[in-house]
Structure 1
Amino acid sequence: MKRMLSIDEQIQHMKTKGITFNEITEDEARTFLAKHSYYMKVAAYRENYSKCQEGRRQGQYIGLDFAHLKELSTIDMHLRYLIMKMCLDIEHAIKVRLVHLVTENPGEDGYQLVKDFLCANEKVRKQVESHKSSYYCHDLIEKYEPDFPIWVFVEVISFGTLLHLCHFYRNRYGVKIVDHKLMNTVRDLRNAAAHSNCLINNLSRKLDATKQVAYEVVQWLKNMGGISKSSRNNNMRSAFTHDIVVLLYVYDSLMNPVPRQKRYEELSDFLHGRVVRHKEYFAANTKICGTYEFLQKIVDNLTNNAYNISTIEKQ
C-alpha cells in the first residue's frame, strides 16, 4: 500500500522522476495541485513521455516539465466538455429518429414496443422506477408508469438503455437506427468524459487486439484530403485516436447540417486555438504532435465540407 504524500512530497517525488519545474515554479505547482487538480490526475499524463533507458538518469522522464502536465490536463478538460456536447447532440438525434420511426410504423401504437422491451428487460424497469427520486423525471414516470409511450420513455432512460432499445427495434423490424458496435465506442467515450476520466493521458495505448477499425470508418477517412495511408494506419492503432474518430464519424452520419457545422467550427477553434496555445511545450514529443496533426486534418476536412454543404443549401 502506497503512503499518502503531502503536496511538498509530491513535488519532490516528481523531481526524483526527472520532472522539472522550469516553465512553472514549484510554488505555482503547489497552488495548482491544491486548488485546481490533484497529483494522480496531473501525473497521469506523464505516460506520454519516454524514460531514459540507461545512464545516471535511468528511469527518469525525458524532457518533461510540470507545465507540460498542467497544460495536457487543461486541454483534456476542454476536450471532455466538447465530447459531452457532441454526445448530447447524438443522443437527441437518436431519440428523434427512433420516435419518428415508431410514429410512422403502422404496426406500432407508441406503447407496445416499450411494453415488450420492458418485459424482456426487468432490470431496465427497476432503473426507471429508481429515477422517481429525480425532480426532473418524477412527474413523467408518475404520470405514465407502467404504460410508457415511446416519446416519454426515451426521456427517462439512460444513453445505454436507449441504444439497447434501438437494437430491440432493429431485431423486431429489421430497421437499423445506429450501428451498435460503433455506438458502444461512443457510449464508452461519453461515460469517460462524463466521469472526468483522463482521455489523453496515454496516447501510445494501442487499440485492443480484439477490435478492428470498422470498414465504413476506414472508407470515410479515405475520402479525406491530406491524410496518407500510413498516417491513417498508424494513428488508428491508438485507442484514443480510434475512439475520437469513431465519435466524429457517428456525429457526421447522424447530425443535420446546421448543428454539424456549428460543432465542427467549435472543434476547429479548439484545435487551432486553445490546444496550440503552448505548442512549444510539445514540439519534441512526436506522439503528441502526430496525434494532434492527424485529428486536426480530419476536423479541417469536416469543417470545410460542412461549410460547402451549408453554402450550397443557401443558394
Structure 2
Amino acid sequence: MCTFKTINEQIDILKHRGLNIHNEERAKRYLLTNNYYNIINGYSKFFQDHEDHFVDGATFDEIRELYWFDKEFKQVLLNGILNAEHHLKSIAAYRFAEANPRSKYPYLQIENYDSNSLNRNWKLISRLSKILSSNCNYDNNTIYHNIHSHNDVPIWVIVDYFDFGTLRDFIRCLPRNVQNKIALDCIDFINDNTPNFNGTFPIDVMNSFIKNIHETRNVCAHNNRLLKFECRSDSVYFEPLHSVYTISSNRNNPRKDVFTTFISLQCFLSETEYSVLNNTLRKRVKHLNHRLHSISVNNILSSLGFPDNWHEIDPLPQS
C-alpha cells in the first residue's frame, strides 16, 4: 500500500538516497507545487547509478532542469507538429473536394471512402456527424453559418474542426488514388528538406509517419513525459530519409523513438519550418548541457533516440 509522505519526509528520502539539495526551502516549494511523483519518479532515474541511489554530485536542481527541459522540448516539438497538421488538413481537404466536387456533405457518404475498410469508414462518418451536430446550434462558428446559409458544410470548413486523430483516420479511409495524390503533394516538402530526393512517397510510409506523429503529439499536448517515450509501432522504412541518419531497415533496430518521429516531419514541413524546429530543439539541448554536471547530456539524447552530441551539429540555415 502506498502511504502518504509529508514534504519534509520526501526531502529526507531524497537526501538519504544521496541527492544534494542546496536550497531545501526552495525544493520543498517546488515539490509542493509540481508533484513529487511527476518530478522524482519521472526524472530522477537519469541521475541514479542503481536503484534508488543517486550518482555522485547529483543535485535537486539538475532534476528540476531536466523536468523543465522535457516540458520545453515538448512545446517546441508540438509547435512543429501543429504546422505539419495544418499542411495535411489543407492538402487532404483539397484532394477530397477535388474528387467529390458536386455533392453536399460528401464526407458523410460511405461510397466516397475506400471500400476495403467499411467498419473504419462508418466509425469516421459517425465522428464527423457528431462534429456537425455539436456545432450546428451555436451561431459563433463557421459550421453553423454554412448550415444555415448554404445547407452544406464543405470539407474545407469542417476539416478545421478535426483533431489530429480524426485527420489521420480521414486520410487512411480515403480511396487509395486520393491518398496517393496527398502523398505526391508532400513530395514538395521532402524535396525542400532532402534536395537529392527524386523518388516516390508511398502511402504506407506516409500513413505510418502520420500515425507516429499523432502518438508523439498526444504525449506533448497532454504534458506526459517525452523522455524514453516510444511509439507503439515502427515507422515504415523510407530509404531516402532514414539512410541519411544511418537508420537501418533491420527489424532489430526499431524506428519508434522521438528522433525517428522528429526527422519524419521533414515530409510535412517546409524547409524553413523544419530548420526552425531543428535549431530551436538544438538550443534547448545546448542549454540543458550547461546545466548538467553529474551526468552527460548524451544520456538524455539517447532517451529520445537522438545521436550522441547531436546538439553540436551545425544548425540548419534559416531563410
Tell me if both proteins adopt one fold, taking TM over 0.5 as the criterion. Answer: yes
Q: Which one of 72, 77, 81 corresponds to residue 83 of structure 1?
A: 77
Q: How far apart, in 1, do the equivalents of 2:242 and 2:65 lie? A: 29
Identity %: 18
Is residue 84–residue 268 contact of structure 2 (8 Å, CA) maintained in 1?
A: yes
Post-superposition Cα deviations, 1:147-203, rounded to whole Å, max 9, x if no partner, equal 320110111121110111112224463525362222121111111111111111xx3
Q: How far apart, in 2, do the equivalents of 1:151 and 1:229 lie? A: 37
- Could you say what secondary structure the match of 2:161 adopts? coil
Is residue 215–residue 231 contact of structure 2 (8 Å, CA) maintained in 1?
A: no
| Aligned counterparts, 1:1-315, within 5 A | 1-16=1-16, 18-22=17-21, 24-35=22-33, 37-43=34-40, 44-52=42-50, 59-63=52-56, 64-105=58-99, 107-109=100-102, 111-116=104-109, 120=122, 121-130=125-134, 138-145=140-147, 147-171=152-176, 173-175=178-180, 177=182, 179-200=206-227, 203=228, 211-216=233-238, 219-224=240-245, 237=254, 242-249=257-264, 251-272=265-286, 274-283=287-296, 287-288=299-300, 290=302, 294=307, 297=310, 300=313, 303-304=315-316, 306-307=317-318
**Which stretch has the larger CA shift, 120-129 or 185-194?**
120-129
Is residue 169–residue 175 contact of structure 1 (8 Å, CA) maintained in 2?
A: no
- Could you say what secondary structure the match of 2:72 adopts? helix
Structure 1 gap segments, 5+ residues each: 53-57, 311-315
Q: How far apart, in 2, do the equivalents of 1:39 and 1:175 lie? A: 48
Is residue 163–residue 183 contact of structure 1 (8 Å, CA) maintained in 2?
A: yes
Q: CA deviation at 1:111?
A: 4.3
Output the TM-score relative to the length of structure 1: 0.73
Q: How far apart, in 2, do the equivalents of 1:298 and 1:245 lie? A: 16
Q: How far apart, in 2, do the equivalents of 1:295 and 1:253 lie? A: 24
Is residue 128–residue 156 contact of structure 1 (8 Å, CA) maintained in 2?
A: no
What one-letter code is carried by the residue in structure 2 that aligns with 1:34? L
Residues 1:169 and 1:237: Cα distance change in structure 2 (over 3 Å): closer
Q: How far apart, in 2, do the equivalents of 1:276 and 1:291 lie? A: 15
Residues 1:300 and 1:103: Cα distance change in structure 2 (over 3 Å): farther
Q: CA deviation at 1:298?
A: 8.3
Structure 2 gap segments, 5+ residues each: 113-120, 184-205
Is residue 115–residue 147 contact of structure 1 (8 Å, CA) maintained in 2?
A: no
